[in-house]
Amino acid sequence: MTTLQAVRLRTEYMEDPLGIDKLAPRLGWTLSDAEGRRGAAQTAYRILAASSPERLAADEGDLWDSGITASASSAHIFYKGAALRSEQQVWWKVQIRDERGEWGAWSDSARWTIGLLSRGEWKGIWIGRKIGRKPTREQPLPAVYLRRRFASRAGVKRATVYATALGLYRLHLNGLRIGRDALAPEWTDYHVRVQYQTYDVTELLHEGGNALAVTLGHGWYTGYIGMYGYQKYGMDPSFLLQLNIEYEDGTTQSVCTDESWRVSYGPIVAADIQMGETHDARLAEPEWQEPAFDDTAWSPATHMYDYRGMVVPQMSPPIRVTQELAPAEVKLLSEGRALVDMGQMTSGYLRVVFEAAQGVQYTLRYAEALDERGELYTANLRYARQTDAYICAGDGRETFEPLFTYHGYRYVEISGGPAPKPEDIVGVVVHSALPEAGSLETSDPLVNRLLSNIRWTQRANYMSVPTDCPQRDERHGWTGDAQIFARTAAYNMDVSAFLAKWLTDLDDGQRPTGAYTDFAPFIFGPKTEFDNDFTYTHTASSGWADAPPIIAKLLHELYGDREVLRRHYPALKRWMAFNETLYPDGIRRDAPQYGDWLSLPERPYEEAKAELGWLIDSLSTTPYDVFGTAYYANGAAIMADIARELGEHADAERYGALYGRIKAAFAREFVAEDGRIKGDTQTVYAMALAWDLLPPERREAAMARLTGKVESAGVMAATGFHGTRLLMDVLSDEGREDLAFGLLTRKAYPSWLYSVLQGATTIWERWDGWTEERGFQRPGMNSLCHYAFGAVGEWIYKHVGGIAPDPAAPGFGRAIIRPRPLGGFTWARCGYDSIRGRYEVDWRLADSGTLELAVTVPAGGEAIVYVSADAGTAVLESGASAAEAEGVEARGRLGDCETYRVASGRYLFTSQWHPQGGSQP
């Protein structure tokens, strides 16, 4: 019989992180139990942490031996060993005792290192080159090339590079690329902080001559920032590096950025994230990254201004190339012009091999879609060019791959010279390399395509921050979109460190008043490329600025992270104080705002406008005061939960009372005696029902009004970003799963499957991004890769896949397993890698009505399983009565399900199930 072993060891959510700044980092692991034994659980652990792998292999924890610690915890365990210092290396492993008292084998070893903890430990200066001109849309600024020769001795024990830039950098040592990160350092509010990266380069050093070589781009720092123009943080990029070498004899050496570095321009003559990159191969200097290169013609590097913000380590997964795609089709449009269809909307760029005479210029134009003539549809890109260019050196086969840009695209037009061969074209997929977490496949191929579209949309938009779109001149971390989609995102990928980083961005943008901003990192001021439009200050908008407490609670519920609550609690309290000051009567009267963005009119717009005036807009038909007050109440309830979790009992009581006052004000101001709510949209009812804002005696009438509106529209959702997510859960929770499944599987416009049937490979920003009757929506706001409406993914995972967290057991200590064999679905397979381990559900409904439900619960976890069953029929587990099965505790009938509490292990439930009409809540 096997014992438990710890696997997937993590430090601050990451595997083997280098250069962190936590002196007491949190450690975690998952449990491996090859047998799937029922009831397998951890009862104790022992952690060893050592200063060398040799000591760890000898079971010598010279930094920390936790001793036998009686605990079922396998996440967020603080290191409590010897004090750590800058550049400290730590190797660690863990051993587990199971529920039978047996100890498993030691885990494989893991590692973390500490970075440079003090600004005073950075010995170098910021270097670069002052370019001396302003960038334009057609002509972004060139990249800057830097290099430095240095010598090292034999006997190198360890060599570590710490590097960052105000801009972007690509680093080489002796001609070899260092690391696999793309677009580093990633986007932060540079007024506050910039992130540095840490690389182990021990194996890359040569005895004798070496060379560091850097290509320096502009990125978010000096490049174009969506709608706001260029150079919003600074005028020129600059670079900071420190290479620390430790020799076997105990001596050390540091190579830093200083004025001995050499600088030049090179073949990247223009580079911008949104506009694109131009590479003139005729300007290339072969082997410029090598030690032997003669750089006497280069100039001394410029000593740039010192950076006045914080220099901090990156503590989240980096942007990287995650996969490569072959074109689905390459079509010749005319002489010297080819159209590449990748078959999938994605983020990144093409890598292409060209073969043409010297001076031939190829142009690559990227777009999401084709117009009615079969040409690129680029009107919706607005100011972004999404255009790369390559000028051939004439040296035969030449490979072009841009460094400092990315595009949102499916189609690429290549023009200017002989068309490249299809096999010489590769789609390079680039995004934040978050670990994949969930998987779901169903009996409905259209829903499977929808799930794929959701995942691809997330990939394209999780680019250092959760952006709204990857193609047009925006690409901001819009808070409303992100918080709506966050739970779906967490099913698809492990978003723990990614969203924790973004919460810091939100705190950095928080105004002195306590107001959060509508996107982060935040850019203040008018939209310079849109006639200095300043209609919105992009601050404190309902549903958007409400994101931080929602995200913080999510991280606690899904990953069990109390520290993220504690770290951001002061900022969250300032946000609530801001609202209490502005809205003392509990009603948020903040207009104009976004509201239930991109909802559809449920009655003639002119009629609604005449009644509600400036409280609605053509893009949001739910009144702003109803919308804002509902979000205010929800925020107060979340803050009460957070305060209770942190033991802040007085605050919990105060926020709970605030929620009560807002709820009463909501009912008094907006809810009629017959249950009708001001605005009378699907969204007002979904919000009020989801967040318990109605007097009990009016709840049934409000639900009837909501279902009547959905049914009278032909089982159609008219909700926008916010209402749609809430609508599906409300219908399910209130006994109308038939309507929720009807909305999911609806094929006519507007619906999720309508876009799938039109060939979409990602989620559209609008229900009517393209329709058969009208074609494309207005180009000013018509992204075809926008994840907000993809928030339905959460509902599909919960109700079709059947896996959901239990909020009463944070960190997936317990899961709710409740797949619903409705809506014509006959099977589904779902898996989710939680912080606790992998939960799996596999169900199948036969024509005879026999339902088989296979469930896997990870070691140390448990689940409440809902088995859909006809009343009065038996439920079996592995062929015997479920109530008597090992590891199963019967909990009685709830609605149309028999419920069971199960320990870890594998189970197979069988029942008879013949659904009738709706469902029972």
Two tokens, residue 372: 């009615």
Tokens for 625?
Answer: 């005061």
DSSP helix, strand, coil percent of the chain (3-state; round to 5): 25, 30, 45
Give me the amino acid identity at 260: S
Structure token digits, residue 137: 């849309």
765 is catalytic: yes
Distance between CA atoms of 552 and 503, rounded to whole angstroms? 8
H-helix or E-strand containing 683?
A: helix 682-690
Residue 266 in tokens = 């090179």
- Among 12, 474, 737, 898, the active-site one is 474
Query: Would residue 441 show up in a list of annotated catalytic residues for this protein?
Result: no
Name the region of 260 (left: φ>0; alpha: ψ -120 to 50; beta: rest).
alpha
Please name which of 318, 273, 275, 276 lies closest in space to residue 462, comparing C-alpha atoms. Answer: 318
Please tell me whether residue 587 adopts helix, strand or coil conformation. Answer: coil
Q: What are phi and psi of 500, to 5 degrees?
A: -65, -40
The Cα 251–Cα 896 span in angstroms is: 73
Q: What angle do CA 45, 48, 49 make, to 5 degrees?
A: 140
User: Buried b vs exposed e over 54-72: b needs ≥16 C-beta within 10 Å?
Assistant: ebbeeeebebbebeeeeee
Residue 196, strand partner residues: 313
The C-alpha atoms of residue 206 and residue 527 are separated, in whole angstroms, by 50
Q: What are phi and psi of 837, to 5 degrees?
A: 145, -175
Which residues 6+ apart lie within 8 Å of 321 measured at CB?
A: 180, 182, 348, 428, 429, 430
What is the Cα–Cα distance from 906 to 886, expressed in whole angstroms? Answer: 11
C-beta atoms surrounding 155 within 10 Å? 11
Q: Which stretches of 20-155 are assigned E, i.e. beta strand?
A: 26-32, 42-50, 64-65, 69-70, 77-78, 89-98, 110-113, 127-128, 144-152
User: Can you tell me the distance from the alpha carbon of 904 to that of 888, in angstroms, rounded to the nearest whole number?
Assistant: 10
The single residue of 368, 765, 840, 862 carrying the catalytic annotation is 765
Catalytic residues: 474, 765
